[in-house]
Amino acid sequence: MPWLPLAIYDEFPYVVSCLSSSALALCLVLLVKGTRELGADDPSRRLPWPYLFYRGVRINPRLAGVDVKQWTNSRCLASKGDCYSPNAVNRD
């Protein structure tokens, strides 16, 4: 497999654009999901969308039952793989 590093190098712009597009799509999904869950009297409703996009709507967003921040920050490795159990503790 000596050709693999060269293939990755040749396709790197496509890999980066795909990952960037996927990350932007995930952030937009979380933004829409979070704003739909806001209450009618929540003061965050009056904030502009770009501000909410960069600040975030929820502190710990969940998507399909998974804590997105814990998944993206690789806390599962820090907690020795038991991050999905209800008794998981932060061992930092």
C-alpha–C-alpha distance, residues 51 and 10, integer Å: 37
pTM as predicted: 0.62
For the cut 50, the answer to whether the pLDDT of residue 92 exceeds it is no
- Quickly tell me which residue has 């993206």 as its tokens: 72
Convert 19-55 to b/e letters by CB count within 10 Å (16 or more is b). Answer: eeeeeeeeeeebbeeebeeeeeeeeeeeeeeeebeee
**Ranges assigned E (strand) in 1-92:** 62-63, 66-67
Residues 32-84: pLDDT tens digits?
A: 888 887 777 777 778 888 888 888 787 777 778 877 777 777 655 555 555 55
